[in-house]
Chains A and B, each alone.
Chain A
């Protein structure tokens, strides 16, 4: 049974003294975790489905109106069968308030709220730079194939039990987990792809498992991912990252040969980045030259 709460101690709160049950927050929740409880005529949050993305709190505009006045106006309009067409993205009484989260619920916000920076990597968003800074970091080298496996998006969310299922499948391949990735830092056993058991019951908006392997092993990784995708209760999106050669060419056709994947959309690092010399050890600079 879902645990509906207007204001528990461990989630974003909707203040029942302020809420006027306008329903605007119901539609803006990406996880469908808010509903109007007609029994008490207040919005309530399903704490188990809420991923602490703070979309309701941060994304909605606010009016700070007096709740008693708003309820009276709404009741009067109902009596006279008058329809008011309010803006759909406003909480009229500023009833949504954030709260201090406790471990392990903190991982929900870390993986769901784009403005939160992951402590493990120092990177915001989903917490990894991937190939976006590859021209500086050399994360994916010539001949490497990087895979980003995003789980939960769009609009589904993911439990860490499913994240672990995918990680365990990848652990059985030649691919190695990326060190600078928040999911990797949650692992207690990389060899087997096991996550910290504290977090397994948590749900997040989405997260990214990141591995790298060789071109020769790429097809095996893709097969394993296709197989495990049938056994998870969420959606998976795979990214394939490659280092281009001196002419700017890549080997995606060879990597995907024999598969039915069709590539159209991509993120292209155009090679304008460079490290600050003072910040990088000489050996690293040479390696990235």
Chain B
């Protein structure tokens, strides 16, 4: 699964996009991994991630299956990080997304201390991940580079929705919805933060970065100053 490998954007567009994942290897260390995966997620919450997720159960931004009709006027867009941790009940991929380098590096440093034995990957600009490894005393083991898109690229969503939808590496975020949300923000029907909350709910594994998405939408409509974003944990 290359769920965080092919994010689309210009290099400067990745300045607030770092994903750290932990995964057991089937047949090698998946037995007894559930407490380790929970420990990974709980540690992540100390560093103000903008999203956390469990690939097979859902992320901190999730659909609600029993809403009241009043929800159209007073929707609660709060993330649910504790639910993500509680739901880990079998081997899976757990992830934490950060919108700043220092938080990501501090989290990776804590993972070194925790020594969970799970495979940990940093998805982001390759040079920044290398820098992080150097700063926390790790030697990179392996790396997978993205060579970008080719083929019938004219069929892909255009630039801005592509930047948004490729943040869900499994393709669960619809380009039509991304365009609709941009239009709603442009016309003042929703704030960028609300629009990104809708988009983030469709990405099950939690690799969607709502902070970057919010910036992309703000840039799209010419409102470059971001409101204070609520992290998914208490920090």
Chain A: residues with CB nearer than 8 A to chain B?
26-30, 32, 53, 55, 58-65, 84-90, 112, 114-115, 117, 121-137, 140, 146, 148, 150-156, 205-206, 208, 225-226, 229-230, 232-244, 246-248, 250, 252, 261-276, 278-280
Task: Tell me the smallest distance from the CB of B9 to a CB of chain A, in Å.
Answer: 8
Among B1, B67, B93, B145, which residue has its beta carbon within 8 angstroms of that of A62?
A: B67
The verdict on B225 contacting chain A, using a C-beta distance below 8 Å, is: no
A271 CA / B118 CA spacing, docked (Å): 9
- In the complex, the answer to whether B146 meets A117 with C-beta atoms within 8 Å is no
The verdict on B223 contacting chain A, using a C-beta distance below 8 Å, is: no
- In the complex, the answer to whether B155 meets A234 with C-beta atoms within 8 Å is yes
A-B residue pairs in contact (CB < 8 Å), sample of 20: A59-B201, A88-B198, A122-B26, A125-B3, A132-B1, A133-B23, A150-B6, A153-B170, A233-B155, A235-B150, A235-B155, A236-B149, A244-B139, A266-B145, A268-B122, A268-B129, A268-B140, A270-B129, A273-B117, A276-B31
Which 4 residue pairs of A and B lie closest in terms of their CB atoms, listed nearest first?
A125-B1, A271-B141, A273-B119, A133-B25
A267 CA / B121 CA spacing, docked (Å): 6
- In the complex, the answer to whether B171 meets A276 with C-beta atoms within 8 Å is no
- In the complex, the answer to whether B119 meets A154 with C-beta atoms within 8 Å is no
The verdict on B56 contacting chain A, using a C-beta distance below 8 Å, is: yes
- In the complex, the answer to whether B172 meets A30 with C-beta atoms within 8 Å is yes
Summarize A's interface: helix, strand, loop or mixed.
Answer: loop
Contacts of A89 in B (CB 8 A): 63, 177, 198, 201-202
A144 CA / B195 CA spacing, docked (Å): 43
Among A90, A237, A279, which residue has its beta carbon within 8 angstroms of that of B147?
A: A237
Contacts of A112 in B (CB 8 A): 171
Whether A266 contacts B123 in the complex (CB less than 8 A), given A154-B162, A155-B165, comes out as: yes
In this complex, what residue of A is CB-closest to B167?
A154
- In the complex, the answer to whether A114 meets B63 with C-beta atoms within 8 Å is no
In this complex, what residue of A is CB-closest to B115?
A272
Contacts of B202 in A (CB 8 A): 28, 55, 59, 89
- In the complex, the answer to whether B142 meets A134 with C-beta atoms within 8 Å is yes
Whether A272 contacts B117 in the complex (CB less than 8 A), given A87-B75, A237-B146, comes out as: yes
Contacts of B204 in A (CB 8 A): 58-59, 114-115
Whether A155 contacts B157 in the complex (CB less than 8 A), given A32-B176, A240-B145, A271-B140, comes out as: yes
Task: Tell me the smallest distance from the CB of A211 to a CB of chain B, in Å.
Answer: 13
A121 CA / B25 CA spacing, docked (Å): 11
Interface centre among A126, A130, A236, A270 (most CB of B within 10 A): A270
- In the complex, the answer to whether A243 meets B142 with C-beta atoms within 8 Å is yes
- In the complex, the answer to whether B129 meets A266 with C-beta atoms within 8 Å is yes
